[in-house]
Amino acid sequence: MRRLLAQVGWPLAVLVAVITVWDLACRWLAIPAYVLPPPEAVLRVLVERRGNLASAFRVTAVEAGGGYLMSIVAGVLIALFFARSPLIRRSLYPYTIVLQTVPIVAIAPLILMWFGSGLRSVMLVAFVICLFPIIANTTQGLISVPRNLIDLFAMANAPRSAQLLKLRLPYALPSLFVGLRISAGISVIGAVTGELFASSNAVGEGGLGYSITYANSQLQTDYLFALVLTASLLGFLFFFTVAALEWLCLRQWHESAMRADAD
């Protein structure tokens, strides 16, 4: 019980403090609502427009989730390929770093130009931004299998497939989860960014990014706040789903999960 209080209590106290300061600032400094809406206005809009928010949430969740899942499949396959030889890694790894270093806002318009401004393109933007952390971490895990373990499998004359399924993949699982956790959050960033560009072509059902552009252009700052909160909720949900999955998979044997358990 005390542990729960410490875990939830302190973040909650911070939240209350921030909201109080925010509220007081709006009153005393007489900030216009289109610059900084007071907390209760944001709350009101959250309730009143929950229908809009929910449908925008759904659209963005599908885009971010779809891109995320695609990046997991592709990322793991690419990592498996990279783990085959140092030569492959040396020749191709620099190009994957490009994925990470070129700003997504620069790639997003290109993707939309090439693939049209539909849901598929936004998904692709999320996919591109999620890919690198998964490739990098999974490759790292796959290539750090200790020599003795590989020799152990060699002594048993284990076929390549057994070595992959029973040694390399399980060994790389904790590293894969590191990548999954990083990408869970940024998949939402990718989807929202993608929509910012798609919105000029007015996709029928707008997601959070599209709605943010719209709210911004209409100076509906309270709605904008509500949308940003909804977007962070989505990122949070992704992150915690992955964290829970990680705990389930690793709690029995991996240090990181065990330590979190003991805290």
Partner 1 sequence: MSTTPQPAFISVVGATKRWSNGVTVLDGITLTADRGDFVSLIGPSGCGKSTLLRILAGLTPLGAGSVRLDGMAPEAAREIMSFIFQDATLLPWRTVRSNVELGLELEGRTPTAQRREISASMLRLVGLSDVAHLHPRQLSGGMRMRVSIARALATRPRILLMDEPFGALDEMTRDLLNEELLRLREQERFTTFFVTHSVSEAVFLSTRILVLAAKPGRIAREIRVPFEGPRSAELRSAPEFLRLVGEVSTALRSVQCDNPPENP
**Tokens coding 142:** 């796959």
Nearer residue to partner 1 within complex by CB, 157 or 217: 157
Nearer residue to partner 1 within complex by CB, 113 or 258: 258
**Tokens coding 109:** 């318009």
For the CB of residue 153, give the shortest distance to partner 1 in the complex, in Å: 7
For the CB of residue 87, give the shortest distance to partner 1 in the complex, in Å: 17
Q: Residue 252 interacts with partner 1 (CB under 8 A)?
A: yes
Site mask, partner 1, residues 202-241, x = CB under 8 A?
Answer: ----------------------------------------
Nearer residue to partner 1 within complex by CB, 5 or 149: 149
Residues 144 and 79: beta-carbon distance below 8 Å: no
For the CB of residue 152, give the shortest distance to partner 1 in the complex, in Å: 5
**Tokens coding 166:** 């029973």
For the CB of residue 173, give the shortest distance to partner 1 in the complex, in Å: 8
Q: What is the DSSP string of 195-248?
A: HHHHGGG--SS--HHHHHHHHHHTT-HHHHHHHHHHHHHHHHHHHHHHHHHHHH
For the CB of residue 2, give the shortest distance to partner 1 in the complex, in Å: 27
User: How many residues make contact with partner 1 (CB under 8 A)?
Assistant: 21
Classify 63 as helix, strand or coil.
helix
Residues 36 and 221: beta-carbon distance below 8 Å: yes
Q: Give me the half-sphere count of Cα atoms (radius 13 Å) on the Cβ side of residue 100.
A: 14
C-alpha span between 123 and 10 (Å, rounded): 36
Q: Residue 253 interacts with partner 1 (CB under 8 A)?
A: yes
**Tokens coding 190:** 């990718």
**Tokens coding 28:** 């005393």
C-alpha span between 191 and 17 (Å, rounded): 31
Q: Residue 247 interacts with partner 1 (CB under 8 A)?
A: no
Using the contact rule CB under 8 A, the part of the chain among 80-88, 98-106, 206-214, 249-257 near partner 1 is 249-257
Site mask, partner 1, residues 172-191, x = CB under 8 A?
Answer: -x------------------
Residues 25 and 31: beta-carbon distance below 8 Å: yes
Within residues 133-172, the interface with partner 1 by CB under 8 A covers 146, 148-149, 151-158, 162, 166-167, 170
**Tokens coding 141:** 């895990």
Using the contact rule CB under 8 A, the part of the chain among 89-97, 185-193, 224-232, 247-255 near partner 1 is 247-255
Residue from 2, 35, 255, 263 that binds partner 1 (CB under 8 A)? 255
Helices (H) and strands (E) in the chain, counts: 12, 0
For the CB of residue 250, give the shortest distance to partner 1 in the complex, in Å: 8
Classify 157 as helix, strand or coil.
coil
For the CB of residue 68, give the shortest distance to partner 1 in the complex, in Å: 25
- Chain residues in the site for partner 1 (CB under 8 A): 146, 148-149, 151-158, 162, 166-167, 170, 173, 252-255, 258
